[in-house]
Amino acid sequence: MSATLKDIAATTGLSVTQVSRALNDHDDVSAETKARVRDAARALDYRPNLSARRLASGRSGIVGLVLPPEGRTPRDSMVVQMVRGLSAEFSRMGRLFVLHAAEPEEDVVAVHGRLIDGGSLDGFVLIEPVPDDPRIAYLRSRGVPLVLHGRTEDRPNYPFFDLDNREVGRRLTRMLLERGHRRIGFVNGLPEMCYVMRRSEGWQEALREAGVAPAPELQEFGAMSESHGALATLRMMSESGPRPTGLIAGNMLIAKGIYGALSMLGLRVPEDVSVVVHDDQLPGEDLMAMPATSGTRSPLAESWAPLARALIGAIENRPLAELQETGQFEVVERGSVAAPGPEFRTASEPFRA
């Protein structure tokens, strides 16, 4: 016979209500109590009784994520980490997490509709948002709880967890501006992604603040891949006009491609070209041989717990203000930025923060 909430309560000396609230990560339960309850639940091999929960609440205790069709789906390593992380967080909170992969020609909104009509899911995690994302409008019209990994606007009216990606773009650009760079290229992701365009806006804003007009030819959009990083770099460096003295990489795979292309051209980092990158610290990438690179850093793994908390909070009708969170990033200096060489210098004064 499997353990029950009463068994956990007896082991911890807490009430059944306290145990339930701790397992569901309620804010009014201390971190110490939550840890004690979860340790007891693991020791007793507690498994939530989803059938009983559904009878009592009308909810299934199951939440889901529909992967967008190929082309908008994150790379495999990210999907694996996302599924593993979200599954663990929802399980820790007494819910089951299921994944559905949409077919290439399948309407993702229709997929959500079928899953809702099947009556088996309480809510959805949404990833890779685009402007005016139809999934958000549809789920809200059906009254189905959701949480977004990202944002489609600055002040959304739905639960989300996101970075300030505009500030990420600004900070990466300023790291180069502060060392005297003016020709700053940006190898960015797919332009239909909201976070990509916010980073682009940050790049443009930082340049304008420094009195530099953003040059459209110095921004390349494409898949977050090593090949995109390499091809974009080769194009920028082969243009007839002045070459960029500094490059921003949208992620570590793009940075790897940038390093490969610069090496092919006989250019050194940072002596000839400076490089900065946003690192989401995904494990499993073949990046061990890449030089240490300055930039911004925010582990993607830190998204899973707030996403799970927000979706469960939405299901339980908690106030929206409690379900919206902006994560932090740190700035790291690793020696990949230097002042531009004499052949790249301009008459303008170095940028100062």
Confidence of residue 28 (pLDDT cuts 50, 70, 90): confident
Rounded to whole angstroms, the Cα distance separating 280 from 248 reads 14
Q: Which residue has the higher pLDDT, 239 or 39?
A: 39
CA distance 5 to 314: 23
Rounded-to-integer distance, Cα 203 and Cα 197, Å: 10
Q: Residue 158: left if φ>0, alpha if ψ -120 to 50, beta else—which one?
A: beta
What does the pLDDT look like over 168-182, one tens digit per residue?
Answer: 999 999 999 999 999
144 has a pLDDT exceeding 70: yes
pTM over 0.85: no
- Find the mean pLDDT for residues 295-301: 95
Helices and strands of the chain, counted as H and E runs: 12, 12
Share of the chain above pLDDT 90, in %: 63
Q: Give the residue carrying structure tokens 């399948």.
A: 106
Q: Would you list the DSSP string of 113-126?
A: HHHHHTT--SEEEE
Note the pLDDT of residue 346.
Answer: 40
State the CB neighbour count (10 A cutoff) for residue 308: 26
Q: What is the mean pLDDT of residues 236-264?
A: 92
Strand 294-297 and strand 330-332: the pairing is: antiparallel
Query: Which one, of 310, 311, 312, lies nearest residue 322 by Cα?
Result: 310
Q: Which residues contact 91 (CB under 8 A, 6 or more apart)?
A: 97
* Tokens coding 40: 């007891």
- Give the residue-averaged pLDDT of 309-335: 95
Predicted confidence at residue 348, as pLDDT, reads 39
Contact 183, 150 (CB under 8 A): no
| pLDDT over 50 at 45, yes or no | yes
Q: Does the pLDDT of residue 80 top 90, yes or no?
A: no
| CA 97 – CA 91 distance, rounded (Å) | 7
Q: What is the pLDDT of residue 8?
A: 85
Is residue 3 very low, low, confident or very high in pLDDT (cuts 50, 70, 90)?
A: confident
Statement: residue 349 has pLDDT above 50: no
159 in Cβ contact with 100 (< 8 Å)? no
Beta-strand runs (E) in the chain = 62-67, 96-101, 123-126, 146-149, 160-162, 184-187, 219-220, 246-249, 274-279, 294-297, 324-326, 330-332
Q: Is 205 left (phi over 0), alpha (psi -120 to 50) or beta?
A: alpha
Range with lowest mean pLDDT among 52-56, 227-231, 335-339: 52-56
Q: Which is higher by pLDDT, 114 or 72? A: 114
Q: Model confidence over 200-226: pLDDT tens digits?
A: 999 999 999 999 999 999 999 999 999
Contact 298, 280 (CB under 8 A): yes
Identity of the residue numbered 112: H
**At residue 72, does pLDDT exceed 60?**
no
Highest-pLDDT range among 69-78, 90-99, 280-289:
90-99
Domains annotated on the chain, with CATH = 5-163+302-328 (3.40.50.2300), 165-299+331-344 (3.40.50.2300)
Question: Which long-range contacts (C-beta less than 8 Å, at least 24 apart) are formed by 345-352?
Answer: 345/180, 346/182, 348/182, 348/211, 350/178, 350/179, 350/180, 351/174, 351/177, 351/178, 351/180, 351/210, 352/178
CB atoms within 10 A of CB 286: 10
